[in-house]
Structures are given as C-alpha cells and as structure tokens.
C-alpha cells in the first residue's frame, strides 16, 4: 500500500483512524461508506459536483504569486486562493459534496456541528441551495464569539441550536450533533466538517478537499514548469492541509503542516494545554469515534485548548495526519498566536490579501521555513479570508 491509497478497508491509516462509535451508528456508517463509494465512482455524480463547484463555489480558485511577501521572507511564494471560494474558505468544497451525497441518499434532513461558524455557514449555504432542512449545533460560547456567522446561517434558513453542555465549544457541539444523528440515523445525514470522526469521514472529507491540491498542482506546473519544493498549510482538524497535500504524496515535495502554538510560554486556562498543537504535543487516544493524536492529561481527560484562531482550536486531529507524521511522510511544526498575527499583518500590507487567522499560521510557518531554506519555492494553502476575524484583530490592536 502506498500513502496515496490509505485508508485500508477498515478505515485505518496505519494504526490510526477506525470506528469507535455506539452500536446504533455502526449500520449508519456502513451505509454511508457504501453510498459514498458508489457516488464517487459514479460519473454522473462527479459531473453534478463539478458543475456546482464551477458555477456556484467559483472553482477553480486562482494560484497567486505572492511576490512582495516572498521577497520579504526570502521565498518564491505561491498562494492557493481558497479565500476566494464561496463563503470565504475551503470548507464549502466538502459541504457541497456531502450535501449532494445526502440528497442522493434520500436523507430528509442534515445535521452539522460548527466551532467558529465557518463550516456551519458552508453547510447551511449548501443545504439552502439543495432545499435540504439543516440543523447546526454550536457551542453557546462560540455563538457569542461568532455572532455574524450565526446570523448568516439563520438567513440561509438553518436552525442553529446552542450547546451549553461540556466546554460549550466545538467539542461539545460534535457530541450533540452525533447524539441527534443516533436518534434517527436513517432519515438524518450528518455533514461533518473536517477529516476527523469515525470512518468513512476522514476519507470522505479528504476526497472532497483533494480538489485543492489537484488544481494547485496543475496550476503550479503550468505557471512554473515544475513542482514546488514544499507545500505548507495550517492544521486544525486537517482538511485543507490534506486536501492540498494528498495529490503531492507521490512527488518529491516536502509536506508541512502548521499547528496552533497558542500563547507559547503561558500555561493554559484551567490547567489546559494553552495551545492546540495536537500532533506536535499530543499523544494517541480516541476522540469523536476515531483513534488519533489528541491533547489529553495522564488520566485520558481531554485538555482545554487555546488558539487565537477559533478554527484551529480543537484537541483532536485527523488520523491521516497522525499517520503521515508517524511515518515521516509529512512534517508538523507550531507557530504562536503572536507569530500568526504578525504574518497576517505582513501579508495584508504586502499583498492586499487579508487572510483568516487560521491561514495566518501557515503564513508564519512559511516565514520560518524561508529562514532555514532561503530561495525555496513554497506552495501555501490560503485556506480562508480574514474578514470574520476583524474584531479579534481590533482587540489585538490592529
């Protein structure tokens, strides 16, 4: 088996992945697995998806040379512009794919979870487009922090349900969405937002996000006649990163994931981790139905995480990244909140592109890479736009 063909039949990427769920969901996951494999092998489904991506999402997204920023950092820097996709981030690629799958499977309604609200907005938009009733679970704390996204979802006709339980953020929202799904696994489709959760989700979401890397590889070859020295992307659950990396797995291209180092040097609130650097600082365990790296204490209790970027603030990570890391196929590093904000400021000033705070982590990682590899050519996954972060940036004095 080569890295391109994982996962195996049991949904395993090496020892990572799998399916750790209540008995009631096993049948639903098997049904989803079968339907997804059939859909992705069906030419007509492929054509419908391609047409939606082109005519509604705005694909292909451009590849932009970042000349001035690259000069400042000693790099030949290229940005794959997912910030220009409909609703402002890569999340829409997966939301459209899964919504079409839900329709094909005859689901009567869709449930989804959201943290910062980006996946919730993408799911709500895709469901509106297809006339599918949609319910999004969102932590009560996140609903306050991300009020404009709540309003967007409601305008798309989606019901947004506050989750007060647990940490009242993304982790609790995923628990609630799964609980809803368990209640009616036949009539409800669970539209999961990243390459996490039980099999087949990490595989399915990756297949819908691979379009990023497929386009970027083609565009890069066309513009430069070669391939980049490295690809770099931020890693929360890991969907934009794996989408960019996967089509380069058989190439001599270095793959680099950047995690949220948070307020490095400061210990976390409530004895938490103070960061969200799951691969670089975590240990293996089970969260949300999947065996992967996660942030836990010595008793297996999940730690509170912290990142200035809500989209990276998750204690787990996709099993494929855990596998790529453990087999040294891809490499993972962290940058701090402050480094990310600094890189965001430079990118905005030098390129006229305001990136999302998540994306800013990849940019800060690129800056560090430039220090060690002067003159290297780097393809960066510009996962989303930063308009949603203006309040946080104002709070940081920008």
Ligand X SMILES: *Cc1c(COP(=O)(O)O)cnc(C)c1O
328 labelled catalytic: no
Contact between 295 and 273 under an 8 Å Cβ cutoff? The reply is: yes
Among 89, 153, 255, 353, binds ligand X (CB under 6 A): 89
Tell the smallest beta-carbon distance from residue 309 to ligand X (Å).
8
- For residue 357, CA distances in Å to 44, 107, 170, 297, 373 come to 37, 35, 17, 27, 24
292 labelled catalytic: no
Among 64, 149, 240, 322, binds ligand X (CB under 6 A): 240
Verify binding: residue 278, ligand X, rule CB under 6 A: no
Longest dimension (CA), the chain: 55
Tell me 200's DSSP state.
T
Q: How many residues bind ligand X (CB under 6 A)?
A: 19
**What phi, psi does 105 have (nearest 5°)?**
-80, 0
Identify the bridge partners of residue 160 per DSSP, sorted by sequence position. 136
Identify the bridge partners of residue 230 per DSSP, sorted by sequence position. 254, 378
From the list 239, 309, 377, 383, the catalytic residue is: 383
Tell the smallest beta-carbon distance from residue 57 to ligand X (Å).
15
From the list 52, 76, 82, 113, the catalytic residue is: 113
| Listed residue (240, 239, 245, 317) closest to 276, CA to CA | 317
Nearest residue to ligand X, by Cβ distance, number only? 384
From the list 76, 82, 91, 339, the catalytic residue is: 91
Q: Which residues 307-336 are close enough to bind ligand X by CB under 6 A? A: 311-312
**What dihedral do alpha carbons 356, 357, 361, 367 form, nearest 10°?**
70
Tell the smallest beta-carbon distance from residue 384 to ligand X (Å).
2
Q: Using CB under 6 A as the criterion, what x/- string covers residues 182-221 for binding ligand X?
A: ------------x---------------------------
Contact between 321 and 241 under an 8 Å Cβ cutoff? The reply is: yes
Rounded distance, CA 314 to CA 276, Å?
Answer: 6
339 labelled catalytic: no
Q: Which is nearer to ligand X, 198 or 237 (CB)?
A: 237
Among 11, 97, 185, 236, binds ligand X (CB under 6 A): 236
Could you tell me which stretch among 47-55, 61-69, 130-138, 355-363 binds ligand X (CB under 6 A)? 355-363
Query: Helices 118-130 and 91-104 sit at what angle, rounded to 10 degrees?
Result: 40
Q: Which is nearer to ligand X, 367 or 388 (CB)?
A: 388
Among 333, 384, 389, 393, binds ligand X (CB under 6 A): 384
Rounded distance, CA 363 to CA 342, Å?
Answer: 9
Give residues in contact with ligand X (CB under 6 A). 89, 91, 118, 194, 234-241, 311-312, 356, 358-359, 383-384
Question: Known catalytic residues?
Answer: 91, 113, 383
């Amino acid at each position: 088996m080569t890295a391109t063909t994982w996962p195996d039949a049991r949904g395993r990427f090496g020892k990572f992945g799998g399916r750790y769920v209540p008995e009631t969901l096993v049948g639903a996951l098997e049904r989803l697995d079968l339907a997804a494999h059939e859909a992705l092998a069906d030419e007509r489904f492929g054509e419908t998806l391609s047409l939606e991506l082109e005519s509604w999402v705005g694909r292909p997204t451009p590849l932009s040379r970042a000349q001035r920023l690259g000069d400042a950092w000693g790099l030949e820097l290229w940005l794959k512009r997912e910030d220009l996709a409909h609703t402002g981030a890569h999340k829409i690629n997966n939301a459209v794919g899964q919504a079409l799958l839900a329709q094909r499977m005859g689901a009567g309604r869709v449930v989804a979870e959201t943290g910062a609200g980006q996946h919730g907005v993408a799911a709500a938009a895709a469901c509106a487009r297809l006339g599918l009733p949609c319910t999004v679970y969102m932590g009560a704390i996140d609903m306050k922090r991300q009020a404009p996204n709540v309003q967007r979802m409601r305008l798309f006709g989606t019901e947004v349900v506050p989750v007060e339980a647990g940490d009242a953020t993304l982790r609790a929202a995923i628990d609630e969405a799964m609980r809803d799904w368990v209640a009616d696994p036949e009539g409800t489709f669970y539209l999961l937002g990243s390459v996490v959760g039980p099999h087949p989700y990490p595989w399915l979401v990756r297949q819908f996000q691979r379009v990023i890397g497929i386009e970027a590889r083609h565009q890069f070859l066309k513009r430069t006649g070669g391939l980049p020295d490295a690809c770099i992307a931020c890693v929360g659950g890991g969907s934009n990163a794996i989408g960019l990396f996967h089509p380069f797995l058989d190439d001599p291209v270095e793959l680099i994931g950047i995690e949220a180092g948070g307020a490095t040097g400061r210990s976390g609130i409530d004895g938490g981790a103070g960061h969200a650097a799951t691969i670089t600082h975590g240990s293996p365990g089970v969260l949300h139905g999947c065996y992967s790296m996660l942030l836990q204490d010595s008793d297996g209790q999940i730690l509170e995480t912290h990142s200035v970027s809500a989209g990276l603030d998750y204690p787990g990570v996709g099993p494929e990244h855990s596998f790529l890391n453990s087999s040294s196929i891809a490499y993972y590093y962290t940058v701090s909140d402050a480094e990310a904000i600094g890189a965001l400021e430079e990118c905005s000033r030098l390129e006229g592109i305001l990136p999302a705070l998540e994306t800013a982590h990849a940019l800060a990682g690129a800056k560090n890479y430039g220090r060690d590899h002067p003159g290297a050519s780097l393809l960066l996954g510009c996962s989303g736009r930063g308009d949603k972060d203006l309040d946080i940036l104002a709070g940081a004095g920008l």
